[in-house]
Amino acid sequence: QVQLVESGGGLVQAGGSLRLSCAASGRTASYYALGWFRQAPGKEREFVAGIWSGGNTDYADSVKGRFTISRDNAKNTVYLQMNSLKPEDTANYYCAYTTSGWLRISRQYTYWGQGTQVTVSS
């Protein structure tokens, strides 16, 4: 089993920045990916960004150029640096774990964190 603990959410004004963290523990594989998804009230869950242990990344078009995902493999931790935040970025952000599949597909992830709320005011 894998446990995921997210942190870093909060309230920020439009144009501001936040950094989310996700720490994985338990029986993590030697090679795996951690991804970020978000869900706003009344909307479908959507992919934000993901990263494999080897460093390959993928981003949703809506966040490219603004968000950066990175990881510290020694700490089993992934970070999401969010810059130039917009009100439409407001959502509950979830960290997830997978050892296979495409980063953009939520069903490929086998473990999920509890979520952290990000609210961007105008």
The DSSP string of 48-103 is: EEEEETTS-EEE-TTTTTTEEEEEEGGGTEEEEEE-S--GGG-EEEEEEEESSS-T
Q: What is the predicted pLDDT for the residue at 86?
A: 98
Tokens matching residue 68: 């950066």
Q: How far apart are CA 122 and CA 104, in angstroms?
A: 29
Mean pLDDT of 27-54: 95
How far is C-alpha 101 from the chain's CA centre?
16
Tens digit of each residue's pLDDT (9 = 90 or more) over 68-90: 999 998 899 999 999 999 999 99
What number is the average pLDDT over the span 109-113?
Answer: 97
The CA distance from 86 to 84, in Å, is: 7
Give me the pLDDT at residue 40, please. 97
**What b/e string do you get for 101-117 counting C-beta neighbours within 10 Å, with b at 16 or more?**
eebbebebbebbbebbe
